[in-house]
Structure 1
Amino acid sequence: MTQTDGAILIGKSTKPETLVLKLANRHGLITGATGTGKTVTLQVLAEGFSAAGVPVFAADVKGDLSGVAAPGEPRDAFVKRAKEMGYDYQPDEFPVVFWDLFGEQGHPVRATILEMGPLLLSRLLDLNETQEGVINIAFRIADEQHLPLIDLKDLRLLLNEMTKDDSLKPVAMQFGNVADATVGSIQRQLLILENQGAAKFFGEPALEIKDLMTTDRDGRGSINLLAADKLMANPRLYATFLLWLMSELFEQLPEVGDPDKPKLVFFFDEAHLLFNNAPKALLDAIEQVVRLIRSKGVGIYFVTQNPLDIPDTVLAQLGNRVQHALRAFTPRDQKAVRAAASTFRPNPKLKTEEVITQLGVGEALVSTLEGKGTPTMVERTMIRPPAARVGPITPDERRRVMMSSPVRGRYDTAIDGESAYEILTQKRKLQTPAPASGQGGTPAGQAPGQAQPQGGGGLFGDILGGILGGGSSGGSGGRGRMTVTERVIANAASSAARTVGTQLGKAILRGVLGSLSK
C-alpha cells in the first residue's frame, strides 16, 4: 500500500499521514541526523510516486536506494508496522534505471560544455571573478565564431587559441583583456577536473530529459538512480551536475500549471553541497529555478541533515516536510532544533522542539500541504515500511536490471564528432607555413597551379575553407580532393549545420543558468 485516493501514504500518527499528489510539486524537505531514517523515507516516497505513475530521479549516495529494484522481505517488524497502519504488508519491486557519470554502475550520463554554461562551469572549476569573465568570453567567441563546445578538449584548445591565434585575439579583446596567466590558471583547473574523471561527463550523446520521464507497461513511473558513491569524492561535480539537471528540466519542460500529479519528482540528497560557499549569483539562480519549476510540473525534494543547510529563501518554498531526529549537544545543534521546530505549523498537543530530539529510528515529524496549499499541523509519525528491499542489490542483480533497461545501448558508447577542437586544429594546420618545394615557390604538397586558401570571410571563412578545401578527407582511405560540385554541397550542408547549432547554443545560453545575453 503506497498510495490511496490521489495521495501517497507516508506513515501514521493518530491518523494516516499522506502526501497529496496534486500538491507534490510544491517541493519538500527531508532532514535528520545520520542514521535516523532519511534514506528509508526517501525510498518510501519514491515508491509511492512510482506507483502513482510519476517518474523519479534520485542520487544514490550510499548505494542503499538500489534495493528499490528488488522485492522487499516480509520482516516481522515490517509486517507488524503495516498491520498497525491498517494494511497487509506486500513485498514489491519497482522499475529502475541506473545512471552513472563514470559509466561503471549505470548508463553514462553526459552533457556538453555548451549545455553546462559558463556560470555552472565556473562554479565547477571554482574560478574567481576574473577567471569566470574569461570563461564567459570563451563562450561568446564560440557562439559568434561557430565553434561547438562539446568536451573538455574543445574548451582547452579554444582558451589557448584566444591568446595565440591572430584572428581570435582581436575578438577576445573586444570583451576585455585575456591574460596568458589567467588562461593558464583555468587550464590547471581543467586538468584537475579531468584527473578526477569529470572528462567522462562532458561529451556526446548528451542526456535527453525525456529518457528520465518514462513509465513501464504497468504505468509505473521509472525510478532513475544516479550512482553517487564514487561521485561524492568530488562534491562540487556532484552538486553542479544535479544543479545542471534542474536547470535543464526548467528550460526544456513546458508550463503546465498545477497538474493532478507531478511530471517528475527530483530528490537532491546531501543538499548542503549545493549551497556551500556558493556565490550570490548562483544562489539567486537556484532560488529562481526552485520557485518557477513547480509550474513545469516538477517537484524538488531536498534531503540533508540540518534545515540550516538550506537558505531561508529556498526553505520558504518547501511545503512538504519530514523531520527525523536531531541531536542538540552543541549550540549550533540547539539552534538547528529551534529552526526546524519553527518551520512547522504548531500542534497544541506537541512540544515540537522537544519531540525532535526524542524521535526514534523510523519516526518523524510530518507536515504536508492540504486543501488550498496550507500546511497541516505537525504530527509525530511512524513511517510506513518500504515495499521493496531495504539495502543495496548485488552486482549481478544490477547487471540484470541494466540489461532490460529502456535506454540500453542509447548512451553506452561515446561519440566524438566534429567540434571546436577539430575545427581549430584544422585551421592551425592551414596557417602553419609549409617549406618551399623549390618549384617556383609552390608550397610542398600542393600541385602547381592549385589555388591556395583565401583569407577572406574572417575566421568563419577560414574555418570553412580549411574543412572543405583540404587535400584529403580523414578516414576516407586516401580519397582525392573534392570536386567543385562536392565542395558546393558540403559548403551548403556545413553552413546549415552551423546555423542550427548557433541558434541552439544561443537558446541554451539564454537560460536561467549560464545566460550571457541578459
Structure 2
Amino acid sequence: MAQESIVIGGGGEAYATPEALLLKYGNRHGLIAGATGTGKTITMQIMAEEFSRAGVPVFLTDIKGDVGGMAVAGTPRDAFQRRADTIGLGTLNYGAMPVTFWDLFGQNGHPVRTTMADMGPLLLSRILELTEAQEGVINVAFRMADEEGWPLLDLPDLRAMLQFLGDNRQDVSAKYGNVTTASIGAIQRRLLVLENQGAASFFGEPALDIHDLMQVTAQGQGQVNILHAERLMTTPRLYATFMLWLLSELFEELPEVGDSDQPKLVFFFDEAHLLFSGAPRALIEKVEQVARLIRSKGVGVYFITQNPDDVPETILSQLGNRVQHALRAFTARDQQALRRAAQTYRTNPRFDTEVAIREVGVGEAVTSFLEAKGIPGMVERTLIRPPASAMGPCDDAVRRQIIAASPMGRKYDTMIDRDSAQEMLARRAEAAARQAEGFEARGKDDEETEERYSRARRYQPPGSIRNRRDEGDDTPRSPSRSTGRSTSRSSRSDSVVEAFTKSMARSIGTRAGTAIVRGVLGGLFRGR
C-alpha cells in the first residue's frame, strides 16, 4: 500500500498526536517561516527527508552551507530519541539521503546551466526589468536569430546579436519595427549587471534537463538535489533569475497530471525574500502565475523565509501547508506582522494562536496542513521530529566523493562551446571586411593606372600637341586634354570612393549592406 502522508512532528495536549502532511496535497505548496535561529532549516531538512522516503524527488537550496549533511547518516543522540518517544515515533532509524550536489558556479556541485534560447525573451525581459520598448528589442533579437539560424546560447551570443541590431538598425527597423541605440544600450547595461553577479556561468551548454532532478533510486527513494547557494545568496538578481527560470521550465516541460497520490517533485526555496524584495510588479505576477498553475503539473513549491510578510499576499494565499516557527515582536511593526500571521490560521479553541507563535521554542512550531478535500487544518502547536541525516555542513572530502561518483558529472561537468551566434556573426563580419579590402585594392589599381596615364601625357615626345603649343603653335587644345583638371577630378573621385568603401565596410555585416556595396561600387568602377 502506498504511503499516504509524511509525519512532521507531534501535536495535541502532550505532543502525542502525529502532525502529518497528506502526500496528495503536497503539491498545494507551503510556507516555513520564523525568526533566525528558531529551526526553519531543520524543518526544511526533515520535510525533504520525509518526501524522499515516500519516493518524491526533492530540490532545495542550501543558503548557509548547512544542509549538505543530508548526504551523511545522523549521529544518535539521547535528546533526539526522547523527542521521538514523546511524539510516538519509536526507535529512530538514522541514515543518509541519496544526495546530488549542484552549484551554479560549478565549485561545490555539478554546474547548472541554461541557454538564452531556453530562457526566452519574455522571462529575460521580466528579470532585467526592461521597458516595453526595450522588451521589443529583445524580441526582435530572438526572432531574427531564430530566422537566420544563429543559436543564442550564452551572454556573448546575445551581446553580439544586440551589436548586430545596432549596426544595422535602419534595415532591421524597416522590417521589425523601431530599434534604437538607446534601447540597445540600456539592455547591454542590464546584461552587464547580471554578468557581474555571475550569470556568465549560468548561461551555456550543456543545459540542465529538468528530468535529471526527478530521479528515484532503485530502493524507491526520491533523489535529494541540493543547490549550494552560499555565493548565490549574495547575488539576489541571479538567484531570482534561476528560481523563476526553473519553475517556468518545469511548467512548460511537464505534462498535466491533475490530482495525484503524491507530487512528482517538491521545491524548497530558502531565503525567499530575495526573490521578492524590490521585485517589480510584473515579476511578482509571473511568480504568482507559475505558483498557481504548476500545481497541476504535480510540483509543490515551499518558500522558507523569516516573516510571512516577505511573501506577497497574492502568492501567500496559494500556500496551503504552513509551518510557523517563533516570531519575535520587539517593535510595533513586529507586533503587527505577528497579528497578521496569526489571522491566517484556522483557530484552535485550546490556545491563542498569536500567543503560541510568540512563545514556541526552538524545534517547535505552529502548523497547519490541508486535510480531506483540501480544507485547511486546525492550527496546532507541534514538536518537530528529529532528522535522520546529519545536521550541519558536509565534509569537503565526502562532498567531492559524492560528486565524483554521480553520473551527472559525465553529463554536465564539462562545458560545451559549440558554434553559435557570436561565432557566426564574427565570421560574417570577417567575410565582409575581406570583400571591402578587395574593393579598396581594385580602387588602388585604377588609381595607379590613372597615374601612369597622367605621367605619359606629361612627358610627350617632340612633335606632339603639347610640344607644338610650347613651341608657339596656336592650335586650340582639346578640353579633354586638360591634364591638371582631369587629375584633380580623378583624385577627388578616388578619395570619395575610398571613404565610401570604408564607411560601407563598417555596415557590411548585413545581407542588405553587402548588396548595396556590390551594386553602388560596381557602378562607380564600371563608370570609370
Q: Provide TM-score, normalisation by structure 2.
A: 0.80
What letter matches 1:397 in structure 2? V
Q: Is contact 1:110–1:204 with CA below 8 Å preserved after alignment?
A: yes
1:468 alignment partner in structure 2 = none
Q: How far off is 1:283 after superposition?
A: 2.0
Indicate if the aligned counterparts of 2:87 and 2:383 stay in contact, CA closer than 8 A.
no
Residue 170 (structure 1) shift: 2.0
Tell me the CA shift for residue 215 of structure 1: 1.2
Where does 1:427-442 land on structure 2 (aligned, <5 Å)? 427-432=428-433, 433-436=435-438
Pick aligned residue for 1:36 from 35, 38, 41: 38
Matched residues in 2 for 1:267 and 1:224: separation? 10
Q: Please say if 1:246 is aligned against 2:244.
A: no
In structure 2, the partner of 1:262 is 263
Aligned to 1:352: 353
CA distance in 2, matches of 1:440, 1:325: 82
User: Cα 1:153–1:438, aligned 2, differ >3 Å: closer, same or farther?
Assistant: closer
Q: Distance in 1 between matches of 2:271 and 2:281?
A: 20
- Judged with a 3 Å threshold, the aligned counterparts in structure 2 of structure 1 residues 19 and 442 are, in CA distance, closer, same or farther, namely farther
Deviation (angstroms), 1:415 = 0.6
TM-aligned CA deviation for residue 190 of structure 1: 2.4
CA distance in 2, matches of 1:250, 1:163: 34
User: Is the CA contact (8 Å cut-off) linking 1:264 and 1:298 kept in structure 2?
Assistant: yes
- Asked if the contact 1:74–1:90 (Cα under 8 Å) also holds between the matched residues in 2, the reply is no
Q: Return closer, same or farther for 1:192/1:280 CA change in 2, 3 Å cut-off.
A: closer
SS of residue in 2 equivalent to 1:408: helix
Does structure 1 residue 425 correspond to structure 2 residue 448?
no
Q: Is the 8 A contact 2:75 2:390 kept in 1?
A: yes
Alignment-derived partner of residue 117 in structure 1: 120
Structure 2 counterpart SS, 1:357: helix
Deviation at 1:189, TM superposition (A): 3.0
| Deviation larger for 252-261 or 270-279 | 270-279
Alpha-carbon contact 2:126-2:282 (below 8 Å) kept = no
> What is the one-letter code of the residue matched to 2:152?
L
How far did residue 350 of structure 1 move? 1.4
- Offset at 1:185? 3.1
| 1:385 Cα offset (Å) | 0.4
The answer to whether the 8 A contact 1:123-1:240 is kept is: no
Residue 64 of structure 1: CA displacement? 0.9
Aligned equivalent of 1:192:
193
* Contact 2:197 2:238 survives alignment (8 Å): no
Shift of 1:181: 3.2
Between the aligned partners of 1:101 and 1:439, the Cα distance in structure 2 is 51
Unaligned runs of 5+ in 2: 446-509, 515-528
Judged with a 3 Å threshold, the aligned counterparts in structure 2 of structure 1 residues 459 and 262 are, in CA distance, closer, same or farther, namely farther
| CA distance in 1: counterparts of 2:396 and 2:125, whole angstroms | 36
Amino acid at match of 2:276: F
Offset, 1:440: 7.5
Q: Is the CA contact 1:27–1:317 (under 8 Å) kept in the aligned structure 2?
A: yes
Q: Name 1:101's counterpart in structure 2.
A: 104
Q: Counterpart of 2:464?
A: none
- Describe the superposition over 1:207-265 as per-residue Cα deviations: whole angstroms up to 9, x where unpaired: 00110000112110000011100111101101110110000000000011111111000
Superposed displacement of residue 175, structure 1: 4.2
SS in 2 for 1:410: helix
Q: Specify the alignment match of 1:7 in structure 2.
A: 5
* Deviation, structure 1 residue 422: 1.6
In the alignment, structure 1 residue 409 sits paired with structure 2 residue 407: no
1:41-60 paired onto structure 2 within 5 Å: 41-60=43-62
Aligned to 1:16: 18
Name 2:313's counterpart in structure 1.
Answer: 312
The match for 1:181 is 182
Secondary structure, counterpart of 2:120 in structure 1? helix
Alpha-carbon RMSD across the aligned residues, in angstroms, is 2.4
* Corresponding residue of 1:76: 78
| Cα distance in 2 between the residues matched to 1:460 and 1:181 | 23
1:174 Cα offset (Å): 4.2
Paired residue total: 445
> 1:442 offset after TM fit, Å?
12
CA 1:153–1:384: 2 relative to 1, 3 Å? same
8 Å Cα contact 1:10/1:384 also seen in 2: yes
Bigger Cα displacement from structure 2, 126-135 vs 28-37: 126-135
CA-to-partner distance for each residue in 1:253-292, whole Å, 9 max, x for gaps?
Answer: 0011111111000111111122222222222222121111
Q: 1:333-368 deviations in whole A, cap 9, x for unaligned?
A: 112111111111110111001111111000000110
Residue matched to 1:155: 158
Rounded to whole Å, the distance in 2 between the matches of 1:5 and 1:149 is 45
- Write the letter of the residue equivalent to 1:58: L
**How far does residue 404 in structure 1 lie from its aligned partner after superposition?**
1.9
SS of equivalent residue, structure 1 residue 435 = helix
The structure with the largest helix share of the pair is 2
Partner Cα distance (1:176, 1:278) in 2 = 29
Counterpart residue number, 1:394: 395
Residue number among 24, 27, 42 corresponding to 1:25 in the alignment: 27
* Per-residue CA distance 1:413-437 (angstroms, 9 max, x = gap): 1111111112211211222234349
Stretches of structure 1 that go unaligned for 5 or more consecutive residues are: 444-457, 463-518
Give the 3 Å change call, closer, same or farther, for CA 349–461 of structure 1 in structure 2. farther
Hey, what's the Cα distance between the residues in 1 that align with 2:439 and 2:147? Answer: 37
Do the aligned partners of residues 424 and 407 (structure 1) sit closer, same or farther apart at CA in structure 2, a change above 3 Å counting?
A: same
Q: Quote the Cα distance in structure 2 between the aligned partners of 1:441 and 1:413.
A: 50
Give the Å deviation of 1:130.
Answer: 4.0
* SS of alignment partner, residue 410 of structure 2: coil
Q: Percent identity?
A: 58
Farther-moved stretch of structure 1 (122-131 vs 34-43): 122-131
In structure 2, the residue matched to 1:131 is 134
1:300 aligns with 2:301: yes
Q: CA separation of 1:132/1:357 partners in 2, compared to 1, >3 Å: closer, same or farther?
A: same
Instruction: Report the Cα distance in structure 2 between the residues aligned to 1:261 and 1:460, rounded to whole angstroms.
Output: 57
Matched with 1:509 is: none
Give the deviation of 1:180 after TM superposition. Answer: 2.1
CA contact (8 A) 1:436 1:442 kept: no
Mapped partners of 1:274, 1:211: distance in 2: 24
Please tell me the residue identity of whatever aligns with 2:106.
G
CA contact (8 A) 1:141 1:172 kept: no
Q: Which amino acid is the alignment partner of residue 30 of structure 1?
A: I
2:524 maps to what in 1?
none
1:37-79 CA-partner distances (Å, limit 9, x unpaired)? 0000000000000001100001110111111110001122111
Contact 1:266-1:300 within 8 A present in 2 as well? yes
Aligned partners of 1:66 and 1:391 also within 8 Å? yes
Cα distance per residue 1:112-148 (max 9 Å; x no partner): 0111122332344344444333223322322333321
Among 129, 141, 144, the residue aligned to 1:141: 144
Deviation at 1:461, TM superposition (A): 13
Q: Summarize deviations over 1:150-187 as a string: whole Å, max 9, x none.
A: 0011010111110213xx64224544433223322322
Q: Which residue of 2 aligns with 1:203?
A: 204
Counterpart-to-counterpart distance in 2, 1:206 and 1:283 = 25
For structure 1, which segment, 250-259 or 278-287, has the greater mean C-alpha deviation from structure 2 after superposition? 278-287
